């Protein structure tokens, strides 16, 4: 079972759609989450990519835009909470049967907004973690780093911001899965 979570940096152009269709054909995801689409409505995009259902949050000004897409034949998704920084859902898969939580995240660059999401994730985890049998997949662009070795560029590492992020991960009982390939992508 594959899920794709992609920070598109804009999804309303032919080149993106061509690359996305190729990725869908190769990986055959049951769920496609697109972040920072910069689109107010994702109806046509979902149709063009071959998905029958979606949960979306439109752009805020000229940025953001989140959408989770799927098809009905093997899965149903219900929204729990939708905000500018994330879409939180329950996922029911019919074959093989499973039930789990999914959060597609695109975190603001503003520290105060990040703290709001960190609190939201911690609160949501209290609900999810009450039943240890249910998994929770959280993925996306957190626009934050956990340690100085994840940093490249001229801005200094901010240990206070990293500490807030670590607290969120730990209090939410999340596990950082790390990365493959280039760590700066």
Share above pLDDT 70 across residues of the chain, in percent, rounded to a whole number: 92
Domains and their CATH numbers in the chain: 3-171 (3.60.10.10)
Determine which of 4-13, 101-110, 132-141 has the lowest per-residue pLDDT on average: 132-141
Pairing mode, if any, of strands 63-70 and 31-35? antiparallel
Report yes or no: 19 and 52 within 8 Å, Cβ to Cβ: no
Q: Measuring CA to CA, how many Å separate 158 from each of 14, 48, 128, 155?
A: 38, 41, 30, 9
**Which pLDDT belongs to residue 137?**
93
Instruction: Report the chain's mean pLDDT, rounded to a whole number.
Output: 88
Q: Measuring CA to CA, how many Å separate 10 from each of 17, 68, 94?
A: 10, 15, 32
Task: Convert the pLDDT of each residue in 81-136 to its tens digit.
Answer: 898 899 999 999 988 888 899 999 999 989 899 999 999 999 999 888 776 678 89
Mean pLDDT of 49-64: 88
* Long-range pairs for 182-185: beta carbons < 8 A, 24 or more residues apart: 183/150, 184/152
Sign of CA dihedral 114, 35, 185, 124: positive
- The predicted model scores a pTM of 0.89
Q: How far apart are CA 154 and CA 125, in angstroms?
A: 35
């Amino acid at each position: 079972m594959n899920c794709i979570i992609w920070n598109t940096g804009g999804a309303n152009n032919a080149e993106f759609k061509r690359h996305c269709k190729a990725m869908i054909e190769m990986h055959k995801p049951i769920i496609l989450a697109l972040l920072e689409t910069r689109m107010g409505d994702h109806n046509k995009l979902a149709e063009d990519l071959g998905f029958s259902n979606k949960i979306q949050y439109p752009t805020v000004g000229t940025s953001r835009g989140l959408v989770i897409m799927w098809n009905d034949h093997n899965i149903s998704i219900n929204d729990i909470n939708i905000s500018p920084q994330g879409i939180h859902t329950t996922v029911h898969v019919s074959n093989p049967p499973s039930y789990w939580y999914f959060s597609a995240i695109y975190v603001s660059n503003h520290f105060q907004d990040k703290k709001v999401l960190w609190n939201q994730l911690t609160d949501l985890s209290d609900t999810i973690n009450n039943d240890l049998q249910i998994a929770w997949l959280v993925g996306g662009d957190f626009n934050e780093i956990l340690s100085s070795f994840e940093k490249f560029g001229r801005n200094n590492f901010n240990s206070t911001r990293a500490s807030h992020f670590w607290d969120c991960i730990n209090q939410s009982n999340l596990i950082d899965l790390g990365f493959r390939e280039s760590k700066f992508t």
